[in-house]
Amino acid sequence: MKNQVIAISTNKGGVLKTSITTNLAGVFAARGEKVLIIDTDNQGNAAVTFGQNPDEYEQTLYDVLVDGKPAEEVIVNVAENVDLLACNDDMTFFEFDVLTHKDEYTDVFKLLDKAMGPLREKYDRILIDTPPNLGLTQGNVLATADAVLIPFHPEKYSMRSLTKILKAVREFKEQHNEKLEVLGVVATLVNKRTTLHKNVMMMCRDYVMANGFRFFKTNIPLSVQFASAVAFEEKPMTIAQPGSEHAAFYFELVEEIMSDKIKN
C-alpha cells in the first residue's frame, strides 16, 4: 500500500520508536519511495538523528497544529528522498494550549489529520514518531494514521504495557479512526542470550497472535553499533551504512511488513 501513514507508537520511552522511524525512512527511501517523517515528540530526536538541533528550527509541528501554518512551509529535507516535519520543545505546550482553548477547535484529536491532507498526496510513505505516552499528541497521531507499528522491549513487565497499548489502539479505532490497523508488534533491544528475553518474547508473541495481531519474526537486537551510526555519521544506520549487518535488520523488517503472509 502506497501513500501509507504509519505511526510508531507505544506508551514507553527508550524502546526504539525514533530508531525504527528514522531507519525505516532510510529503507523506504532506498526502495525509491518519497518519505516524510513527522516527529511528534517534544524531545525532537528525529532531527537529532539527522545531525540537526531541533531548537534551532523557527517553526515546527507545533506551529502547524496550533496556528494552522501549512506543513509544506515547515518541512525540511534531511536526506535523499527523506523529508522531516520536525518537533521541538515547543510541543511541550501543545496539550495545555489546545485544551485551554478547546472551544476554538472543532475536534482536538483531528488537528494533525487536518494538516495531513495535502501531504498524503505528496509522499509515498509517511512515518510518525511519537512521544512515550498516550496523551493528546498520541491521540492526534492515532486519529490520522492508517497503521500502527508497536515496538516492544521484552522485560519483566512488558506484557502489561503491551496489553495496554493494544487495548488503547482498539478503543481508539472504534471511537476516532475506523481505518486504523495494527501493522504488528516488533521486539526491540533483544538479547537472545537472556532466558528472560526468550521467555517474555514467547509469552508476548502468543498473546499478540491469540489476539489476531502480527508479531514480526524480525526483531532489533541490542547493540551499541546502532547508536554509534547516529553519533558519528549523523544519520540512521540504514542511510549511513545500508550494507551493514545492523542495517539488515531494518531492511528485513520492511520486507516482512510488505509481505502479506503472516509467517509466524
Ligand X SMILES: Nc1ncnc2c1ncn2[C@@H]1O[C@H](COP(=O)(O)OP(=O)(O)O)[C@@H](O)[C@H]1O
Query: Considering only residues 196, 227, 258, 262, which one is a binding residue for ligand X as defined by CB under 6 A?
Result: 227
Contact residue for ligand X among 4, 9, 11, 19 (CB under 6 A): 19
Please choose, from the candidates 65, 27, 19, 54, the residue with its C-alpha nearest in 3D space to the C-alpha of residue 248.
Answer: 27
**Is residue 257 at the binding interface for ligand X, with CB under 6 A as the rule?**
no
CB 257 within 8 A of CB 214: no
Q: Does 226 bind ligand X (CB under 6 A)?
A: yes
Could you say whether residue 3 binds ligand X (CB under 6 A)? no
List the one residue from 5, 9, 17, 127 that touches ligand X (CB under 6 A): 17
C-alpha cell at 253: 523488517
| Helix/strand/coil for 164 | helix
Contact between 18 and Mg ion by CB under 5 A: the answer reads: yes
- Choosing from 4, 7, 8, 17, the residue that interacts with Mg ion (CB under 5 A) is 17
Beta carbon nearer to ligand X, 203 or 222 = 222
Binding-site residue total for ligand X (CB under 6 A)?
15
Check residue 86 for interaction with ligand X (CB under 6 A).
Answer: no
Least distance between Mg ion and beta carbon 26 (Å): 16
Draw the binding track, 43-82, toward Mg ion (x: CB under 5 A; -: no contact). --x-------------------------------------
> Residues in the chain, how many?
264
Element (H, E) at 183: strand 181-190
- Smallest CA-to-CA distance from 242 within 74, 81, 16 is with 81
220 binds ligand X (CB under 6 A): yes
Residue nearer to Mg ion on the CB measure, 45 or 177:
45
Instruction: For the CB of residue 52, give the shortest distance to ligand X in the complex, in Å.
Output: 15
CA nearest neighbour of 19 among 222, 244, 245: 222
- Contact (Cβ atoms closer than 8 angstroms) between residue 182 and residue 165: no
- Per DSSP, 243 falls in state T
Residue of 93, 31, 28 whose CA lies nearest to 67: 93
